[in-house]
Amino acid sequence: MASLRALRPFAHREFRVLISALSISIFGSGMWAVAMVYEVIHLGGGPLELSLVATAASIGLVGFVLAGGIAADRFPQRLLIIAVEGANLAVIATITALAMFNVIQLWHLAVGAFVLGVGQTFFFPAYSAMLPRILPADDLLAANGLEGTVRPVLQQAAGPAIAGILVAVLSPAHAVAGVAVCHLLAFGIVNLLSRQASGPGETVPDTTAPGTGRSSLIKDLREGFSYTIRTPWLLWTLIWACLSVLFLIGPIEVLLPFVVRDQLGGDSRTFGFLLAVMGVGSAAAALATATFRLPRRYLTVMVVTWGLGSLPVAAIGFMDNFWVLGAAMLIFGATEGVGMVIWGTLLQRRVPRHLLGRISSLDFFVSLALMPVSMALAGPLAEVVPLWLIFFIAGLVCPIMAFVALFAARMMTDEIENPLAANAADPEGADTQPDSV
């Protein structure tokens, strides 16, 4: 039954362990986002000090994201995930102790944010590369849908909400302690993963195989980039994603609050509610996508959904009604959720397993690299260009580029030549023939 398809991954013990640990970990990440802010404020810090801590996290993310992908292909993914959660636990437990004894300093928070940022770059490529090893190919869509559901619910809603309550009722230090508890639980759970969930190093004793320790880091990077460049559907999707981040993130994160203030007469609560609506739309759409089979026209559905879902952004600068703007954010979030579930599944089913960690980290890198650029440009641009024009251009460029990518990569032909019906995937986790040409 379609209604039960989303739950099929839970039939596999390793997935139950992995998704439980992931859920608790990202819940902790959501708590940290609030706990860190109010710990900085508790120390007497302002926007500059908060920016310093946030920048430390960004440096950890951007600086190590490609290394995380290489590690996921070279080392046992199970051990990488255990090591990341262990490091997260050690750092947050230390910050908790320093905060409880009131001896914490700003640089402690910056170091902690940096380590957590680095941890993400190693955790998620390893997680993505592990899924095809522990689940049948036909269950990957449901698994990605579940992950796409729990992330916005726990990281963007529940985690920050609980941390906010702890800060208000007790103190920022107690909220940080809650983060430590999350990582303690996640660390204990990931240690329950069996060696069956392992990647290179535990299940592939041949050290001459692709992606193992003998190959140099430069060779590993070159192999990942080379595969991406000669794989049109992958290359053009990443190009589209890169441009989308550049055009959309800055307006939504930086300029939308001013739309709320000037066009709706709203405040921070209105802005927060709109972001929550976007997150709920993404979660609901991801869960809905998980209940169905992967579409036969999977590339077309993914790219067209993403492209058309950006169109409401073009009208944000003209909206003066809260419910209309809320509907636009709901559509944007929902289409993002559908596209991301399909995209994650394609990576796991069409990219060769020995490259999956590197390609996943490259995808992560593309998503992160231009995010600070977009945010940095949005403010100054708004000083010389009307807000409505910025949103209008952003909302139109992305659909246009989506259709350019669709035809430039011949995706409609590619998806027919490479069907991903149940059990049609290569047993090694990749459809390698046309992609290797």
CA atoms within 13 A on the CB side of 225: 9
Task: Flag whether pLDDT at 355 surpasses 80.
Answer: no
In a shared domain, residues 234 and 149: no
pLDDT at 424: 43
Assess if residue 41 is contained within a domain.
yes
Q: Mean per-residue pLDDT for 197-204?
A: 50
What CA–CA distance (Å, rounded) separates 10 from 14? 9
Mean pLDDT taken over the chain? 80
- Region 234-238: what's the mean pLDDT? 89
Candidates 170, 180, 183; CA nearest to 38 is: 170
Residue 76 DSSP one-character state: -
Would you say residue 322 has pLDDT above 60?
A: yes
Same domain? 23 vs 108: yes
Contacts of residue 99, defined as CB under 8 A and 6 or more positions apart, other chains included, come to 39, 172, 173, 176, 177
Indicate the range of 4-18, 26-40, 325-339 predicted with least confidence.
Answer: 4-18
The encoded tokens of residue 106 equal 């700003």
Structural domains counted in the chain: 2
Each residue of 93-132: pLDDT tens digit? 999 999 999 998 888 998 998 999 888 888 888 888 788 8
- Judge if 178 and 248 occupy the same domain: no
pTM to 2 decimal places: 0.69
In the chain, the amino acid numbered 290 is A
Identify whether the C-beta of residue 274 lies closer than 8 Å to the C-beta of residue 326.
yes
Please indicate, yes or no, whether residues 177 and 308 belong to a single structural domain of this protein.
Answer: no
Q: Check whether residue 347 and residue 385 sit in a common domain.
A: yes
DSSP3 helix / strand / coil % (the chain, rounded to 5) = 80, 0, 20
The reported pLDDT for the residue numbered 293 is 80
pLDDT at 38 over 70: yes
Domain boundaries, position 162: 1-203
* Domain-located, residue 168: yes
List the single range of 159-163, 218-222, 284-288, 392-396 with lowest mean pLDDT: 218-222
Q: Is residue 356 assigned to a domain?
A: yes
Q: Are 231 and 431 in contact (CB under 8 A)?
A: no
243, 105: one domain:
no
Q: What is the pLDDT of residue 61?
A: 78
Q: Report d(CA 17, CA 425) in Å as an integer.
A: 25
Q: Which of 203, 224, 244 is the last residue of a domain?
A: 203
pLDDT tens figures, 329-340: 899 988 988 888
Q: How far apart are CA 204 and CA 246, in angstroms?
A: 40
Residue 432 has pLDDT above 50, yes or no: no
Q: Best-predicted range by mean pLDDT among 14-18, 29-33, 89-93, 356-360?
A: 89-93
What integer pLDDT is reported at residue 198 of this predicted model?
A: 57
